[in-house]
Amino acid sequence: MDPIKKVSTIISKGSLTDVYPGLILANGARMEGIEANLFFTFFGLEAILEKRMDKLKVPTVANPAMHIPSIIGILPGMSAFATMMMKKEMKKLDIPPVREFIEMIHDAGAEIYACKATVEMFHLTKEDFCEQVDGILTVGEFYEKSAGAQIIFT
């Protein structure tokens, strides 16, 4: 079988647990010598917004796999607690915080893009994003950049 040569990973959701899988996949691709692009759309944009990217949280409601009943999960501080616990565990695995992960992936040669429709919908500009963002793309441009790539949607 032919090895994978290029991947385009889309991150469309904005909680900490939604963002990390895409970051790990993109970074892992570069580590394997696979060309990688990262596209952020809808609430996924939180991960590259200068003011939001350090504040992503683990959700504690509506997720049976958390093993926390939603009625408990809504209590103040539950999400902050779960977030703290998860960050502690990730640190043990040498997985960096979101901001550093984005820098690392960019330094690794992956390109990072924001979705134009969402940027307009949320009234954002290029200045709202961290410096690693290479551009704001339409869906058509996204497909152009993804030529020859496997597309991963998260």
Question: Least CB distance from residue 110 to another protein, whole Å?
Answer: 10
Contact positions toward another protein, by CB under 8 A?
Answer: 24, 27-28, 30-33, 93-96, 104, 107-109
102 contacts 47 by C-beta, under 8 angstroms: yes
Q: How far apart are CA 2 and CA 20, in angstroms?
A: 27
54 contacts 19 by C-beta, under 8 angstroms: no
Question: Least CB distance from residue 9 to another protein, whole Å?
Answer: 15
Q: Which lies closer to another protein via its Cβ, residue 94 or residue 127?
A: 94
Question: Least CB distance from residue 13 to another protein, whole Å?
Answer: 20
Residue found by looking up tokens 């504040």 in the block? 55
> How many distinct helices (H) and strands (E) make up the chain?
6, 5
Residue found by looking up tokens 């990730």 in the block? 90
Q: Which lies closer to another protein via its Cβ, residue 89 or residue 94?
A: 94
Q: How far apart are CA 137 and CA 30, in angstroms?
A: 22
47 contacts 105 by C-beta, under 8 angstroms: no
Question: Least CB distance from residue 41 to another protein, whole Å?
Answer: 24
Question: Least CB distance from residue 147 to another protein, whole Å?
Answer: 20
Q: Which lies closer to another protein via its Cβ, residue 29 or residue 119?
A: 29
